[in-house]
């Protein structure tokens, strides 16, 4: 389950009812040129704050009164979470990628009444089975609260309050037992941390980093399927680099000056900040993207042992690669990209490519988000855009989809 961040607000081009199916205009394939009453746990107000130099208690105890969870007693067969809205009005929706049904609201944040904290961002991570969500809410420049949400019961717990200057998306292990996050503090607190996602976090640093170095702290990216390895990325003016850390080997340190890890069991794979572990330790898919400051856009495969990577796709134009994922059969992968320059109206393109790099264009649109596969690989989903009250989830292979309300759980969509 990939992490979610509340940055994307869907914009629609069609206005239809929330339960309707919609046809999706597709680019023809050619050869190569993503209501029950809210319930809360009785223990929801308990704040489990660990001691030590890492996360520390907030002067004002965090509350769960502004987070509402709608219980989903029966978890869908193929759960996928995404967020809509912005800042403190974020909603997290649950979608069944195996079925053609509208998503349902699981989490909703109410705006904080004045005088309100400076809420900047809400981000979340989810377990593979959808039973565990860890939601991070940034209340100010130096105060972030991590919430544990159990969608099946509606339970909410405050895991910890972090008084660091940085904010990162929680990256949850596939089994939902742990999560990783980054923090920027002093020399004893900067780096990537791992915490328990069940009740008491007891965070431990797994990657140490120098807070004075540009690009610090490294960012957690994705866990391996068995939770043994954590991929992390670092970035500086030369672009992003991705490495992997074996968690049981203990803390390591990343040296930005030479791109090497010291201590523990960790290694640099190469350029990039996108990784897909679906192919296992011997067939890891990594995507690197250039920026206005440099770097290079390409997709390659590598292994845990490292070595010479094998390039499987290199764009022919100045392109930003936003995502790439193996098909479950590992015989092809999608690439989600858009032009590097210029302006706000840059159409996104989704390609389907084989391991030799050849492929077909699935869709090109101004109003399409990063896609995701259903578990069986028969469907490729993406958020599609329209107006300011209705959103869409498009199935890109069949060209159909479903609509949902952006601001309310059910129609009418105000």
Spatial CA neighbour of 285 closest among 250, 311, 261, 258: 311
**What pLDDT, in 10s, does the model give residues 171-199?**
999 999 999 999 988 888 999 999 999 87
Q: What is the side-by-side strand order in the sheet with 310-313?
A: 274-276, 284-288, 298-302, 310-313
Residue 381 maps to a domain: yes
CATH of the domain at 280: 2.130.10.120
Residue 233 maps to a domain: yes
Q: What is the largest CA-CA distance in the chain?
A: 60
CB burial readout 66-104, b (16+ within 10 A) else e: ebbbbbbeeebebbbbbbbbebbebbbbbbbbbeeebbb
Overall average pLDDT of the 70-87 stretch: 91
Position 48 confidence tier, pLDDT thresholds 50, 70, 90:
very low
Q: Determine the pLDDT at residue 117.
A: 55
Overall average pLDDT of the 374-389 stretch: 90
Please give the residue range of the domain that contains residue 49: 4-405
Say how far apart CA 111 and CA 89 lie, in whole Å.
6
Residue 401 maps to a domain: yes
Higher pLDDT pick, 316 / 242: 242
Position 83 confidence tier, pLDDT thresholds 50, 70, 90:
very high
| Percent of the chain residues past pLDDT 90, beyond the cut | 56
Q: Token pair of 153, please?
A: 């019961």
- Cβ burial, residue 285 (10 Å; 0-12/13-18/19+): buried
Position 306 confidence tier, pLDDT thresholds 50, 70, 90:
confident
Position 397 confidence tier, pLDDT thresholds 50, 70, 90:
very high
- Asked if pLDDT for residue 301 goes beyond 60, the answer is yes
Average pLDDT over the chain, rounded to whole? 82
Higher pLDDT pick, 92 / 33: 92
Q: Determine the pLDDT at residue 271.
A: 93
Q: What is the side-by-side strand order in the sheet with 332-339?
A: 319-326, 332-339, 348-354, 359-365
Residue 25 maps to a domain: yes
Of 41-50, 254-263, 369-378, minimum mean pLDDT range: 41-50
Q: Determine the pLDDT at residue 294.
A: 75
Q: How many structural domains comprise the chain? A: 1
Overall average pLDDT of the 205-217 stretch: 86
Residue 134 maps to a domain: yes
Residue 138 maps to a domain: yes
Position 12 confidence tier, pLDDT thresholds 50, 70, 90:
very low
103 contacts 95 by C-beta, under 8 angstroms:
yes
Of 26-35, 278-287, 355-364, minimum mean pLDDT range: 26-35
- Asked if pLDDT for residue 31 goes beyond 50, the answer is no
Overall average pLDDT of the 149-156 stretch: 95
**What pLDDT, in 10s, does the model give residues 236-266?**
766 789 999 999 999 999 887 777 888 899 9
pTM: 0.84
Position 99 confidence tier, pLDDT thresholds 50, 70, 90:
very high
Q: Is the dihedral of CA 273, 279, 95, 97 positive or negative?
A: positive
- Asked if pLDDT for residue 403 goes beyond 50, the answer is yes
């Amino acid at each position: 389950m990939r992490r979610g961040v509340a940055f994307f607000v869907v914009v629609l081009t069609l206005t239809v009812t929330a339960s309707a199916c919609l046809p999706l205009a597709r680019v023809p394939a050619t050869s190569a040129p993503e209501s029950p009453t809210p319930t809360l746990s009785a223990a929801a107000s308990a704040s489990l704050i660990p001691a030590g130099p890492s996360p520390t208690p907030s002067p004002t105890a965090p509350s769960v009164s502004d987070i509402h969870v709608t219980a989903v007693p029966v978890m869908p067969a193929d759960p996928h979470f995404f967020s809509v809205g912005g800042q403190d009005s974020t909603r997290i929706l649950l979608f069944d990628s195996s079925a053609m049904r509208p998503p349902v609201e699981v989490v909703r944040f109410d705006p904080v009444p004045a005088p309100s904290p400076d809420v900047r961002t809400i981000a979340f991570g989810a377990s593979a089975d959808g039973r565990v969500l860890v939601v991070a809410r940034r209340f100010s420049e130096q105060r972030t609260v991590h919430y544990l949400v159990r969608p099946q019961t509606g339970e909410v717990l405050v895991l910890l309050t972090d008084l660091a200057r940085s904010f990162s998306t929680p990256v949850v292990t596939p089994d939902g037992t742990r999560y990783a996050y980054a923090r920027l503090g002093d020399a004893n607190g900067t780096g990537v941390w791992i915490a328990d996602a069940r009740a008491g976090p007891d965070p431990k640093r797994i990657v140490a980093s120098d807070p004075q170095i540009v690009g610090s702290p490294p960012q957690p990216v994705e866990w391996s399927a068995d939770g043994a390895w954590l991929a992390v990325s670092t970035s500086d003016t030369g672009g992003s680099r991705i490495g992997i850390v074996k968690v049981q080997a203990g803390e390591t340190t990343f040296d930005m000056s030479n791109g090497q890890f010291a201590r523990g069991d960790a290694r640099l794979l190469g350029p990039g900040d996108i990784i897909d572990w679906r192919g296992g330790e011997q067939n890891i898919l990594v995507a690197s993207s250039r920026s206005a400051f440099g770097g290079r856009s390409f997709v390659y495969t590598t292994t845990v042992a490292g070595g010479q990577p094998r390039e499987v796709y290199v764009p022919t134009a100045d392109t930003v690669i936003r995502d790439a994922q193996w098909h479950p059969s590992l015989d092809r992968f999608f690439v989600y990209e858009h032009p590097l320059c210029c302006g706000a109206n840059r159409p996104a393109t989704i390609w389907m490519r084989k391991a030799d790099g050849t492929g077909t264009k699935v869709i090109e649109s101004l109003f399409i988000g990063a896609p995701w596969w259903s578990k069986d690989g028969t469907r490729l989903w993406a958020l599609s855009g329209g107006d300011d009250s209705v959103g869409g989830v498009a199935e890109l292979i069949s060209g159909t989809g479903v609509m949902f309300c952006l601001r309310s759980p059910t129609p009418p969509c105000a």
